[in-house]
Amino acid sequence: MKKITTIFLVAICGQFAIAQIGIGTVTPTADLHIVSKKEYIFTLKDNNASSDSFVLTSKDNTDGFIKKESTSIFKNLKFGNLNTGAELENKIIPATEPYTQNYTSGWKIVRDGAYIRLPQGRWAVYFTTLITLDRFINTEVIRNTAITVDLKMTDRAYADSPDVEGDTQGSTNGNAFVSGSIIFPSQKDIVKGVIIINNTKPGEGVVYRFMSRITVTTDSADAFNSLKDRTVTSILNGNFSQNQIYAVPLN
Amino acid sequence: MKKKFIISLLFILINTVISYSQIGIRNTNPDANLAVHGTMRLEHYTQGEGKVLVSNATGDVRWAAPFSLRYVSGRLAPAGEYRDIVEGNPQYTRARITLAPGGWLFKSIILLNNRHGNLAENQTVFATVYLSDSATDPTYSADYIDASARDMSGSLIGPSTYGLIDGAVVIRNTSTASKTYYLWGKLEYFTDNSNSPTRRAISLNNVATDAWGENVIYAIPIE
């Protein structure tokens, strides 16, 4: 009874803004003094998106407002799904393409299985993938030949997503895509890199997918033609042990 | 009975006051639901020097250690203890890392160099390192999480002198004790069908040893 009365009086005092407040203590030693034996000290609800392990920080140095902020960079890692499709949908070089020293394909879809779902927030998406030819080529004509693979992130419908930071011409704040090359006589190599995603949409999260394009650079028409019936397999394919997609939350 | 009634009444009043008003402490014009102009003291069993207030998803607040990255360094193989990586069976590099229970983002940066001189222009090597639970059994560690890659790979392409592996995998030590993971290496070799120029014998030199300044293996804890 005595305790309850104290709390009540303290609360009333708070209403009139004239005194120190003690919650769980009758002898406050600060303007607001809470002594809690519960699991948590107090509850702070606001209308902003929140997730586990947000830190209370001061908004700025003028008014003392408190805000919740994620500083737990290596918490809440998100992992992407890899696809199980066999290959890119299309051949490296269309059969009708005339020889050129530097051929670049259009962007092609990496099959639907490869995606990452990211909640609202800013994310550094790290991805690593093996790039390998579907069949080995073992001939002299392939010398002085390289296949470069670019990978970019898109929205669910494979359209360019405004959430990709830097995905504009001349952008200085990010990279639109990441690249790696197979340099012959090697038949495989790695593409890896990081793309920054800024998802401003609340809700269950946005699905991001991947597209790829291929550039063939070669001095040899024979090498060029020999690549026409081949594909680059293994791009973000779960059957290859180098491949993974994960995202780290950023502030 | 009267006492109980008073207690009930007080509860209702308290709830009303706290739930429906802004409270100002030393502040007659509170511009937030709780506006303290002065000091705040929060005594709780989670308190401690340097701790910060952390909220969970429902806004419940307690003290916690501020987040900072821990960095656990692995042990590279000392020069003299290494083994070359050659084509064929995987080889234990003699590099290893010991990790406490929990999830870890493991990273490796490993220089690739051929013991027998620069590769010819028609030679390339695709080298891979990975983690095993054993120094004698080349099987992949059982602790890779499903979404993780297993292999960390890179290329050495003739006539370049050096190549690099720069990779990351995710493992979770689900045991209750620290556990040592062993870094194994293997390679694939590519060439064309020409005998010119003369090919070099291939044997990767000092993989994951302290002989190269570029080499490092480390891990960062994750949730």
Write down the H helix ranges in chain A. 2-16, 221-226
Query: Which distant-in-sequence residues (6+ apart) come within 8 Å of A17 by Cβ?
Result: B23, B24, B25, B26, B27, B28, B30
* Lookup: tokens for B195: 């005998």
Per-residue pLDDT of A171-226, as tens digits, reads 666 678 899 999 988 889 999 999 999 999 998 899 999 999 999 999 888 888 88
pLDDT of residue B82: 73
The dihedral built from the CA positions of residue A20, A22, A27 and A31, taken in this order, carries a sign that is negative
Q: Which residues of A touch B54 (CB under 8 A)?
A: 53-56
Per-residue pLDDT of B129-168, as tens digits, reads 999 999 999 999 999 999 999 999 999 999 999 999 999 9
Interface probe, candidates A46, A73, A128, chain B, greatest B C-beta count within 10 A: A128
Q: Look at residues A180, A153, A156 and name the one whose alpha carbon lies nearest to residue A165.
A: A153
Interface probe, candidates A65, A190, A222, chain B, greatest B C-beta count within 10 A: A190
Distances (CA, A) of A51 to A16, A77, B218: 34, 13, 28
- Alpha-carbon distance of B155 to B202, in angstroms, equals 13
Q: Distance between the two ends of chain A, CA-based, in angstroms?
A: 47
Whether residues B44 and A41 touch (CB distance < 8 A) is answered with: yes
3-class SS of residue B94:
strand
Could you give the ipTM of this predicted complex? 0.70
Please list, residue by residue across A146-170, b when 16 or more beta carbons sit within 10 angstroms of its beta carbon and e when fewer do: bbbbbbbbbeeeeeebebbbebeee
Residue B39 pLDDT exceeds 80:
yes
- Alpha-carbon distance of B13 to A16, in angstroms, equals 15
pLDDT of residue A119: 93
Query: Looking at residues B197-206, what average pLDDT do you find?
Result: 90
Whether residues B67 and A190 touch (CB distance < 8 A) is answered with: no
Beta bridge partner(s), residue A126: A194, A246
Query: Which distant-in-sequence residues (6+ apart) come within 8 Å of A121 by Cβ?
Result: A49, A70, A198, A199, A249, A250
Are β-strands A66-69 and A145-154 bridged in parallel, bridged antiparallel, or unpaired?
Answer: unpaired
Residue B20 pLDDT exceeds 50:
no
Residue A15 pLDDT exceeds 50:
no
Beta bridge partner(s), residue B24: B35
- Interchain CB contacts (distance < 8 Å): A and B: 217
Is B36 within 8 Å of B28 (Cβ atoms)?
Answer: no
Is B9 within 8 Å of chain A by CB? no
Q: How far is CA A74 from the centre of its chain?
A: 13
Residue A236 pLDDT exceeds 80:
yes
Is B208 within 8 Å of B183 (Cβ atoms)?
Answer: yes
| Average pLDDT over chain A, rounded to an integer | 81
Distances (CA, A) of A68 to A200, B53, B122: 17, 9, 58
